[in-house]
Amino acid sequence: MIPVKVQCACGQRYAFDVEPVNGRMPYPVACPVCNADGTASANAIIAQALGASAATAAPAATLRATITPPAAAGQSAGATPRRDQPVRSIRRESAADTWKWWYFVLAGVCIAGYSIWQAYDRHSIRPLGELFFAALCIAIGIWDFKAKRKKKLQQQ
C-alpha cells in the first residue's frame, strides 16, 4: 500500500492508501469538497513514490500535487471520473480529527466507573475526587461532538 496525499486547487487536502495497478490508480478519485478529479495527481504521486522506493530503502515521502477544478460543465470526459466507475469516498486528512469526540466520553465513563468502584471497595470517598476529571472528559467530548456537528451542518 502506498500512502497518497493530494491537495486540491480549492485548498482541500485528502489522503488515502492505495495498492497501484501497473503503477497507476486502480479507480478514479475526486476531491471530497469540489468533486474535481484527482486521479491524474494521484497517479503522479504514485509514480514519484514508486521511483523513490525503488531508489532507496526508506519509506516513501509525503508528496503534494495541486489540481485545478473543472472550469466549465462542458469539459472533456477525461477531466472528470467516468460515470460507469464509482468514485470512492475519501476522508479528509486533518490533525484535529485524530481524537474523536467519543474517545473523551468513553474515557470519562471509564474513569468515573473506576473511581466509584474504588470508593466502594475502600469505603472511602477519597477516590471520588477523580469524578471531576471524568466529568471534564465527558464535557469535552460533548462539546467536541456539538462543534463538529455544527460545522458539518454549516457545510451542507
Confidence check: pLDDT of 139 > 90: yes
User: Are 113 and 138 a contacting pair, CB within 8 Å?
Assistant: no
Mean pLDDT score of the chain: 77
Local confidence band at 106 (pLDDT 50, 70, 90 cut-offs): very high
CA 53/CA 57 separation, integer angstroms: 6
Confidence check: pLDDT of 109 > 90: yes
- Taking the CB of residue 16, how many other CB atoms lie within 10 A of it? 19
pLDDT at position 153: 87
The closest of 52, 42, 53 to 20, measured between CA atoms, is 42
- Render pLDDT for 83-104 as a digit per residue (tens, 0 to 9): 555 555 555 545 555 678 888 8
CA distances from 106 to 76, 112, 149 (A): 50, 10, 18
pLDDT at position 108: 92
User: Regarding predicted confidence, which is higher, 154 or 99?
Assistant: 154
- Render pLDDT for 16-44 as a digit per residue (tens, 0 to 9): 888 888 888 998 989 888 888 999 988 99
Mean pLDDT in residue range 66-81: 52
Instruction: Indicate the pTM of the whole model.
Output: 0.37
User: Regarding predicted confidence, which is higher, 63 or 113?
Assistant: 113
